[in-house]
C-alpha cells in the first residue's frame, strides 16, 4: 500500500480538492487498493471545519466529491504514515521541512513539480478569491494528478 498526503494551509480548499481529483484518478485506474490519499493543513485556524462550500461546488461541477470530513492539521507523525507528502505551495513546504525526520525515505515536495509543463510550481490559495480561482485549483489538480500517479506507479514497479 502506498500513501499520499496533500498539504495546504487550512485543509479546506486546495488540499481536499487535489485529494479528491487524485482519488478519482486512482479509482478510475483500479488502484484504490494499492494507493490511499489524505490531506492536511499546516495551520490550525480552520481545524474542525468542513471543506469550503465554494470548493465543494466547483468540484461537483466537474464530477468530484470532496472528502466528507473536517480539516485537520499536519502532524510530524504523518512522516511515519505517508510515503508521499505533497505541498501546494512553497510556504507550505517551508512549514513541513523542519519536521522531516532524517530517516524519512519518502518523498516531500511540491505537488506541481510532477507537472513542469504546467509552467507554475504552486497552486494558488483561492480562499480570498472568486469562483474562477477555485476552478483554477481544479485545473491544476487535474494537470498534476496524472504525472504524480505515473511517478508513484514507477516507484511501485521498481519495488516489485
| Residue-range domain boundaries for the chain | 2-159
CA-to-CA distance for 84 and 108, rounded, in angstroms?
6
Of 64, 28, 68, 41, nearest to 138 by C-alpha is 64
Check if 8 is active-site.
Answer: yes
Beta strands across the sheet bearing 84-87: 35-41, 2-8, 84-87, 107-110
Distance between CA 33 and CA 93 in Å, rounded? 28
Q: Decide if 83 is catalytic.
A: no
- As a residue count, the chain comes to 160
Residue 14 is among the residues annotated as catalytic for this protein:
yes
Pairing of strands 107-110, 35-41: unpaired
Question: Which residue among the candidates 38, 52, 78, 125 is catalytic per the annotation?
Answer: 125
Per-residue pLDDT reduced to its tens digit, 52-97: 999 999 999 999 999 888 999 999 999 999 999 999 999 999 999 9
pTM above 0.85, yes or no: yes
Of 8, 13, 23, 83, which one is the catalytic site residue?
8
Across the chain, which distance is largest between two alpha carbons, in Å? Answer: 45
> Could you read off the pLDDT of 84-139 as tens digits, one per residue?
999 999 999 999 999 999 999 999 999 999 999 999 999 999 999 999 999 999 99
Does the pLDDT value for residue 48 go beyond 90?
Answer: no
Cα four-point dihedral sign 12, 21, 113, 4: positive
- Kindly state which CATH superfamily the domain 2-159 is placed in: Response regulator (3.40.50.2300)
Catalytic residue among 13, 14, 78, 89: 14
Amino acid at each position: 500500500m502506498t500513501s499520499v498526503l496533500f498539504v495546504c494551509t487550512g485543509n479546506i480548499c486546495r488540499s481536499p480538492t487535489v485529494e479528491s481529483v487524485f482519488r478519482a484518478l486512482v479509482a478510475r485506474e483500479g488502484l484504490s487498493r494499492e494507493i490511499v490519499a489524505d490531506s492536511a493543513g499546516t495551520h490550525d485556524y480552520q481545524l474542525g471545519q468542513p471543506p469550503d462550500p465554494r470548493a465543494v461546488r466547483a468540484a461537483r461541477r466537474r464530477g468530484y466529491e470532496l472528502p466528507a470530513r473536517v480539516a485537520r492539521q499536519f502532524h510530524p507523525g504523518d512522516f511515519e504514515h505517508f510515503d508521499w507528502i505533497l505541498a501546494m505551495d512553497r510556504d507550505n513546504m517551508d512549514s513541513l521541512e523542519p519536521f522531516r525526520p532524517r530517516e524519512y525515505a519518502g518523498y516531500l515536495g511540491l505537488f506541481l513539480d510532477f507537472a513542469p509543463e504546467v509552467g507554475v510550481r504552486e497552486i494558488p490559495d483561492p480562499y480570498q478569491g472568486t469562483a474562477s480561482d477555485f476552478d483554477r485549483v481544479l485545473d491544476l489538480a487535474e494537470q498534476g494528478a496524472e504525472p504524480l500517479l505515473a511517478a508513484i506507479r514507477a516507484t511501485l514497479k521498481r519495488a516489485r
